[in-house]
Structure 1
Amino acid sequence: MQILIVLSSPEPEIKWNAVRFGNFLLNEGEDVTIFLNGPAVDLTAGDSPTFPIAEQAKLFGLSEGVLAA
């Protein structure tokens, strides 16, 4: 199944959870695209030890997930 996640929030926790969800779906064998809209285009803004967005985004890309903006 092809799944599209639209992400438009600048909040680090929301961005982190969206990418984590995308990684979960990829692990389940789904085709996943995350579309970054508005303030979410700067995906790694707010990256921290609490919300390691960059780490999850790297895993997403390496797992053949697609990021679009």
Structure 2
Amino acid sequence: MQILLILSSPDPEIKWNAVRFGNFLLNEGEEVTLFLNGPAVDLYAGDSEAFPIAEQAKVFALSDGKLAA
């Protein structure tokens, strides 16, 4: 199944959880595209030890997830 996740929040926790959810879906065999809209286009803003967005985004990309902005 093809799944589109639309992310438009600048909140680091929401971005981190959206990418984690995308990784979960990829692990389940789904085709996932993450569309970044508005303030979420700067995906790595807010990357921290508490919310390692960059780490999750790397896993997403290596798992053949698609990013669109």
Match of residue 34 from structure 1: 34
Q: Distance in 1 between matches of 2:66 and 2:45?
A: 19
Q: Distance in 1 between matches of 2:14 and 2:55?
A: 15
Match of residue 14 from structure 1: 14
Following superposition, which runs of at least 4 residues in structure 1 exceed 4 angstroms of deviation? none
Q: Distance in 1 between matches of 2:67 and 2:14?
A: 16
Q: Kindly tell me the number of residue pairs found equivalent between the two proteins.
A: 69
Sequence identity percentage: 83
TM-score, reference length from structure 2: 1.00
What are the ranges of 5 or more consecutive residues in structure 2 without an aligned counterpart? Answer: none
What are the ranges of 5 or more consecutive residues in structure 1 without an aligned counterpart? Answer: none
For the residue of structure 2 that corresponds to 1:45, the secondary structure is coil
The alignment yields a C-alpha RMSD, in angstroms, of 0.2
TM-score, reference length from structure 1: 1.00
